[in-house]
Amino acid sequence: MGALRSLRSVVAAAAATVVLVGLAATPASAATWISVGPVPGLSHRQPAAPAAPRGPVTWRVPIAMYHIVTPLAPDTTNPDLFVRSSEFEAQLKLAAARGIRTITAHDLGASIAANIAIPAKTMVLSFDDGRVESITYAWPIMQKYGSSLVFTGTNWIARDMNKDGRADTGYVGTFYVIVGRHDGNSISFDQEATLARAGNEIANHTNSHIDVRIDHGAALTAQVITAGHTIVTELAKRGVTTTVTTFAYPYGYTSTEAVNLLKAGGYTLAFTTVEGIAHHGQNQLLLPRVRVSRGQTAAKFLVSLGY
């Protein structure tokens, strides 16, 4: 029995020597795992499992949709397009009192892409068609109420366009302009630059307000993609650096071809006229909005936004 124990000890020692020699002779860059079975008295600690990746950020942000804000809103014509400036002011005043802040659609899309949470109680004020009333009537009212947030690429901060360390007073918006339309009813590139310098977003509503289901190929590319490039170029001429990453479909009509163009062009968000609150899980290039119509009280406005 004593001889058998001695033989087992010799064999174990020899095996251990082979393993150690083999490891010593193996370059670090070529190291491999060698299984020698459990050894009494030794602990085999496994490397810690990598942390599970964080899932996509959850978000819910109402996009208010306006067209024309004016004190001259007709009583009977297009109630879904015309909102009286007095109603608009009441809506923003109550929203500010409730602590609701504005962000641009551009920053919303950038925050989602960066997987950074969007602050609570935020909304986007969107204005379709690039109407001159947007800067004549809506913008002066927006500057009077509330506050806005800006996404830096890594976090959200208070808007401070003067960089004086104090948050700016006032709301900002996303203005969807018809790029090729510059008549007396539309804002000019100079006015677009003025809005952009104040922290507003100038965004794409096609070159000539076409139904994207009608045009195809190069013609649709000109309407959807080239129009965005034109905004960037024209604002750059006026000293404003911007990117165009969000889109509003004219009439709310969509097409698979248009969606694919926007995706390939780096657009993060695109909006229809389907009624609803935008949130995670939806197609980000087919998002709904909340239409604001004439006669809507401030209280009903906030209810429609879910606040």
In degrees to the nearest 10, what's the CA dihedral of 170, 296, 177, 117?
A: 60
pLDDT score, position 73: 67
pLDDT score, position 76: 63
pLDDT score, position 45: 43
pLDDT score, position 78: 72
Residue bearing tokens 């087992």: 8
Looking at the domain that runs over 62-305, which CATH code has it been given?
3.20.20.370
First to last CA, the chain: 86
pLDDT score, position 75: 64
Helix/strand/coil for 301: helix
Contacts 24+ apart (CB under 8 A), 223-229: 224/258, 224/261, 224/262, 224/265, 225/261, 225/265, 227/179, 227/180, 228/179, 228/204, 228/265, 228/267
Q: Which two tokens stand for residue 43?
A: 């602990």
pTM of structure:
0.82
Distance CA 52, CA 145 (A): 43
Distance CA 117, CA 283 (A): 18
Contacts 24+ apart (CB under 8 A), 24-27: none
Tens digits of pLDDT across the chain (307 residues): 454 444 445 434 444 443 333 333 333 333 333 333 444 444 444 444 554 557 899 999 999 999 999 998 666 667 778 999 999 999 999 999 999 999 999 999 999 999 999 999 999 999 999 999 999 999 999 999 999 999 999 999 999 988 888 899 999 999 999 999 988 899 999 999 999 999 999 999 999 999 999 999 999 999 999 999 999 999 999 999 999 999 999 999 999 999 999 999 999 999 999 999 999 999 999 999 999 998 999 999 999 999 9
Q: Could you state, in order of their start, the residue ranges of all structural domains in the chain?
A: 62-305
